[in-house]
Amino acid sequence: MEEEHPSPVVESIYLRTVSLPDIVYQLPLPQVTIDSGVLSSLQLKSIIYACQRHEQKTPDGSRGGYLVGDGTGFGKGRIAAGIIFVNHLHGRKKAVWLSMHRDLQYDAERDLRDVADTQVTIFNLKKLNLLSADENGVAFSTYSTLTEEFHVNNKKSTRLQQLLEWCGPDYDGVIVFDECHHTNLLDLSGTKILFSLLELQTKLPNARIIYMSVTGVSSDLRNMAFMSRLGLWGLGTSFPDFKDFHQTLEKDGLHSREMMAMELKLRGMYLARRMDLKDVKFRMVEVGSSHSPKFCKIYDNAINLWTQLKQSFVEVEEILNTEQRIRQGMWDYFRLAHSCFFKDLCNAAKVTKAVELANGFIRGGKCVVISVRTTGEVHTLEEMKAKGGNVSNFISTGKRILLSLVEKHFPVISSINPSATDRKRKNSESDETEEERLKRVLEIKDHLLMQIETFSAMLPLNVFDQLIDELGGPDKVSEISSRRGRVIQKDDGQIQYEHRFDANFPSNSNISEKELFMQGHKNVAIVSEDCSSGISLQADSRVNNQRTRVYIALELPSSVEVAIQQFCSTHRCNQVCNPEYILLYSNLAGEEKFASNVARRLTSFGAVNLYVAQRIVTTFGISELTLETKYAQQALVSTFQAVLDHNNGSNPIVPPPSDYLGEFFSDAKTVLVGAGLMAIDDTNTLKLQRKTSVKEFFETMLGFPARLQTSLFKYFAITEATILAKENMLSESDGINIFEWGAGQIVGRKKIHKITSPYSTARPLCFARIELHTFEFDQGTTWKQAHDMSASLSGNSEGFYLSNLTRNGKHSVFLVFNNCQIRPGQHGESFTAIRPDMRTAFEFPPKAWEVFKMNHKKVAADSPQRRVVEEFWNLRYNASKTDCSHRYWTGQCIKKDQGLECQHGLRLQTLNVLCGPIFSAWKDISSVIGSMQVFT
């Protein structure tokens, strides 16, 4: 008897519309395994379709691969274990399991033990220098381990080569690519890891490949660069290589990926379900300390110090006339250090609130998981080295960032460009010797180090160490991170550095820390981002600690998808109660906007918003968007242009924030020039210095005064909302859109083309059925319809309009409406209009509306010219059935005269709808539809 899935799961709207192919594979699992309930019916479905897919071949002859796109907490490890066990029963005793970090071997062992009992063993590839070809089991390895080199029998080899020799060229067992959305294969030109994964699949063409990714195909397509066994590009497909595949789908946007996901499911190659977030509670909490006078003082002093740092770097750069190559590296690191410093400062401002919330939840009988992106270990080790391995106090990450910048990246005498220096010396009035210039440089450097030392007394401590200390120390807090050691305070108040080590788990302290939390010995777990993949911290029915989990996000990751994945470490199968989520945010660097993005996604997944986030979503109205969109980039350009226009005496379209104390545009100009985003040329003209991405702008904005940041972000947000409103993009839809072509109008299908194309070489050969439906719909508005609509109009500017002049003896006519949706940041009225040949309303931009009123006159209901309006309305409506606008107004059309089709201004429009798995027949489709207009 199949077991139902232990927790509610859901599937996306667009994938629910697609049916899976029929099942023909006979699952050989023992009945006792099925009856035991270790595998749910949904997990069994994935196992069956994966094994069925492995019986097919891709167009290049390799064995087909399967993509498990289920979300965090669904139980993908059980699915992988089930597939390995099925193949073990078929006599394929070897398998390979690749994942992100070695901690996940523990979870893989657990899943294999639960599914296969003791029949399948697992070992770590890294611990075995020589594998016997006769040795069976599951070889576990991290992705990075594959590229490592080692010596055996005085010969150099790689772990990849070791693995290939163990498998053998005829290997037909399972290879699991676990957590493959985190493989960091973002460089399309190639990385060692990418080449290793591609080589593994190329040299083992019969291997049964399983890709497991919580983001499926909806996230960054570059993470699919090594998924060659899906058969989406290469020989026999529409795309010659991954680069062409990536460029085409990126150009077509999110909907092309959703369409691809639907086709993969249709072929039985993909399933993507996720845990239902219904009844999961969350709230957004603003950190008040980021508004406090003390914090603002520290922040503004930090800005002044960084301004001094930049000026000193520029000054020394000119003194030494540093080589361009060295300059580039120096400023790249400067920007990185600047971003890291202020991000650390923002996180430190949240520590007190996080500790206060955590202690309150623990007193209330709950336990807490806190996420922090980075540990600051690099800077801790730098301080330890500088002090000879001894520490007497907690270390300030911000201080070490500053010291590292000046000590390691400050221009030195070795970076002088000799030829350029000689030329400069000849043209300069100064007779400074090289020794004198070096002395000046060292004086500037020493002065900066003194300033840093003085200022560092104000800086906060390492966030990770401070959280652990204030929540009770290592005895009360489980740390799950990649740190090898940490600074702690002992019971007697002594500060010391200790290595993270546990006698019961000497090889992996994270496993022991996790177990201490899950068994209830510790009620707080702090997790770094690099150790968050695949970790299970939910209130599992099989562990002692069944308290409600409260997940506090101290710093949200840069991706909404990654944020949701991290949250789901406390929301997984087999839990006895739902978790709660707390999103901490400050008023700096647009954190409020990104927290709203995450809040909206949680809400769309069914989570219950307690009270705060809805206010923010309403305020900004753009929370469904991330920073990296074309509309965000347009908003950034418009924001810069507003500063430029104000400097030139023009009034911007979006007014400055009314609550800003001071001259907003003048202050914005000052900081933008200081940050190098704008410049004042020799003619005292303000201009843009260089093209800036939205991400770079937000990181740079961290170095602006705190109150100006808030107002500048608000201005950016309102500008973006204005652009989106104009583009009619403020939609409640999430994901694929439904276009209501011909809604309420006459629609009819004219014809249908049917073609077939092979999409796999499975037995028997399968063909995809592609259908091209051609519809014709009437988008015009009759006089009666327009007359009835006008009866409800009462505004001064609403009603019918008639052109002052005629063209070819004909007037143009419009029905105008007052647009009730006033755009954010705009003042006054806005208008839309319809024509006889077009029922869909179009909006007048402000200036276009003024021009329209000059060239047209409003015709009242009782005016004698009302009959003229009716006459030309009917004339245009009837003509637009067959005549394009060119022929209607001028009597001729160049396209029509050449025998070509022209639909410009026709109310009878043709719509071509393509149905079916079109990826498999892209070239065939192109030959059928030619130059016809296609909507997918």
State the pLDDT at residue 170: 94
Q: Are residues 468 and 607 in the same domain?
A: yes
For 620-658, give one letter per residue: b (16+ CB within 10 A) or e: bbbbbbbbeeebbbbbbbbbbebbbbbbeeeebbbebbe
Q: Are residues 765 and 835 in the same domain?
A: no
Tokens 């381990």, residue located? 145
Tokens 């058969």, residue located? 231
In single-letter form, the type of residue at position 594 comes to F
Mean pLDDT of 821-838: 66
**Helix or strand run (H / E) with residue 140:** strand 137-142
Residue 419 lies in a domain: no
Q: Are residues 62 and 203 in the same domain?
A: yes
Radius of gyration of the chain (CA): 32
Give yes or no for a contact between 299 and 345, defined as CB atoms under 8 angstroms apart: yes
Handedness of CA 461, 462, 467, 473 (dihedral sign): negative
pTM: 0.72
Short-list 413, 420, 397, CA closest to 445: 413
Residue 583 lies in a domain: yes
Domain count, the chain: 5
Distance CA 37, CA 9 (A): 17
Cis-peptide into 557, omega within 30 deg: no
Domain boundary at 586, 602, 620, which?
A: 620
Pairing of strands 838-843, 830-835: antiparallel
Distance CA 413, CA 406 (A): 14
Quick check: helix, strand or coil at residue 590? Answer: coil
State the pLDDT at residue 936: 35
What is the full DSSP assignment across 386-399?
A: HTTT--SSPPPHHH
Distance CA 569, CA 72 (A): 7
Residue 926 lies in a domain: yes
* 201 Cβ contact list (under 8 Å, min separation 6): 62, 175, 207, 209, 226, 228, 229
What are the C-alpha distances in Å from 360 to residues 90, 357, 364, 549?
A: 54, 5, 6, 13
Q: Are residues 521 and 555 in the same domain?
A: yes
Q: pLDDT per residue over 884-899, tens digit each?
A: 988 999 989 988 888 8
Instruction: Mean pLDDT check: name the lowest of 452-461, 628-637, 809-818, 820-829.
Output: 820-829
Distance CA 83, CA 44 (A): 9
Tokens 């950190």, residue located? 287
Instruction: Mean pLDDT check: name the lowest of 127-131, 296-300, 583-587.
Output: 127-131
Give yes or no for a contact between 680 and 673, defined as CB atoms under 8 angstroms apart: yes
Q: Residue 184: pLDDT band by 50, 70, 90 thresholds?
A: low
Short-list 499, 534, 504, CA closest to 519: 504
Q: Are residues 456 and 390 in the same domain?
A: yes
Residue 368 lies in a domain: yes
In single-letter form, the type of residue at position 431 comes to D
Ramachandran sector of residue 804 (left: φ over 0; alpha: ψ -120 to 50; beta: rest): alpha
Query: Does 764 or 548 have the greater pLDDT score?
Result: 548
CA 437 remoteness from chain centre: 48
Distance CA 65, CA 201 (A): 10
Q: Are residues 470 and 587 in the same domain?
A: yes
Q: pLDDT per residue over 440-488, tens digit each?
A: 888 999 999 999 999 998 999 999 999 999 999 999 999 998 888 888 8
Residue 428 lies in a domain: no
State the pLDDT at residue 873: 95
Give yes or no for a contact between 207 and 29, defined as CB atoms under 8 angstroms apart: no
Short-list 344, 292, 354, 351, CA closest to 456: 344
What are the C-alpha distances in Å from 59 to residues 217, 228, 288, 564, 695?
A: 21, 11, 59, 36, 40
Mean pLDDT of 55-77: 91
Q: Are residues 475 and 551 in the same domain?
A: yes
Quick check: helix, strand or coil at residue 132? Answer: coil
Please say if the pLDDT value at position 688 is more than 50.
Answer: yes
For 173-211, give one letter per residue: b (16+ CB within 10 A) or e: bbbbbbbbbbbebeeeeebebbebbbebbeebbebbbbb
Mean pLDDT of 350-377: 93
Pairing of strands 608-609, 580-585: unpaired
Q: pLDDT per residue over 401-431, tens digit each?
A: 999 999 988 876 554 555 544 544 444 445 6
Domain containing 726 equals: 630-730
Distance CA 820, CA 182 (A): 46
> Which residues are bridge partners to 829 per DSSP?
none
Please say if the pLDDT value at position 217 is more than 60.
Answer: yes
Query: Does 59 or 608 have the greater pLDDT score?
Result: 59
Quick check: helix, strand or coil at residue 294? Answer: helix
Handedness of CA 918, 921, 922, 927 (dihedral sign): negative
Query: Does 554 or 7 have the greater pLDDT score?
Result: 554
Q: Residue 155: pLDDT band by 50, 70, 90 thresholds?
A: confident
Query: Does 765 or 343 have the greater pLDDT score?
Result: 343
Residue 165 lies in a domain: yes
In single-letter form, the type of residue at position 191 comes to T
State the pLDDT at residue 913: 76
Q: Are residues 638 and 756 in the same domain?
A: no
Could you count the other beta carbons within 10 Å of the beta carbon of residue 900? 10
What are the C-alpha distances in Å from 495 to residues 353, 384, 475?
A: 24, 13, 15
* 581 Cβ contact list (under 8 Å, min separation 6): 280, 281, 282, 283, 550, 551, 553, 567, 602, 607
Structure tokens at 717: 């947000």
Q: pLDDT per residue over 530-542, tens digit each?
A: 787 778 899 998 8
Q: Are residues 311 and 385 in the same domain?
A: yes
Residue 671 lies in a domain: yes
DSSP at 135: -
Percent of the chain whose predicted confidence (pLDDT) is above 70: 81
We report the CATH number of the domain holding residue 84 as 3.40.50.10810
State the pLDDT at residue 921: 63
Mean pLDDT of 645-658: 76
Residue 9 lies in a domain: no
Q: Residue 736: pLDDT band by 50, 70, 90 thresholds?
A: very low
Query: Does 232 or 433 have the greater pLDDT score?
Result: 232
We report the CATH number of the domain holding residue 615 as 3.40.50.300
Q: Are residues 245 and 361 in the same domain?
A: no
Q: Residue 726: pLDDT band by 50, 70, 90 thresholds?
A: low
Q: Are residues 394 and 332 in the same domain?
A: yes
Burial of 365 (0-12, 13-18, 19+ CB in 10 A): exposed
Tokens 């200790």, residue located? 498
> Which residues are bridge partners to 485 per DSSP?
499
Please say if the pLDDT value at position 185 is more than 50.
Answer: no
Q: Are residues 391 and 467 in the same domain?
A: yes
Short-list 404, 401, 413, 402, CA closest to 326: 413
Q: 560-567 and 591-604 are packed helices; what angle lies between their axes, rounded to 10 degrees?
A: 60
Query: Does 435 or 607 have the greater pLDDT score?
Result: 435
**Helix or strand run (H / E) with residue 156:** strand 155-158
State the pLDDT at residue 866: 93
Average pLDDT, the chain: 81
